[in-house]
Amino acid sequence: MVQRALVLLCVGCMAVFMASCGQTYVLQSITVAPKTFNLEGLDTVQALTVTAHYSNTKTEDVTVKSTFQVGQATALTNPNTPNGAVSVSLSGTVQTSPTVYACTWLTTSTANGYTYSETSPYVVTASYAGFQDTAAVYVASLSSCYDGTGHLHP
């Protein structure tokens, strides 16, 4: 009788443990970091990280499992934000072109120096498992482009 009770207790414990194995958690969202950054000069880089957020509060770095797309900063008619000025590698590294100049900053010369303001950035969209998030990329690689810290002269 005692052996039977122990066997039933062991089988019951195994059933409880096995029931908790293999639980699936639902992907709730992804986030890209950093959300906004500046790339100054030609052939400069910034690494992105894509993080998956699950319903059990766990997170996972899914950068290399994600796909990326670069959207042009402004209308095609703006010569300061050409296609091809920014690219993203399969590993999530954003890079300015070594040969295509761009400027997403508006520089105005004043009597006291320069003023600047951000214009439309290039937008990098990361996708993973049906979810998307974006990062804004400001580029200063065009001669006379000003990013608030100095002038760039290619």
Q: Is the peptide bond before 82 cis (omega within 30 degrees of 0)?
A: no
Per-residue pLDDT of the chain (154 residues; tens, 9 = 90+): 666 655 555 556 565 555 555 667 899 999 999 999 888 889 999 999 999 999 999 999 999 999 999 987 655 556 778 888 999 999 999 999 999 888 887 666 677 766 666 677 899 999 999 999 999 998 888 766 755 555 454 4
CB 87 within 8 A of CB 100: no
What's the pTM?
A: 0.74
Domain boundaries, the chain: 24-140
- The architecture in CATH of the region 24-140 reads Sandwich (2.60)
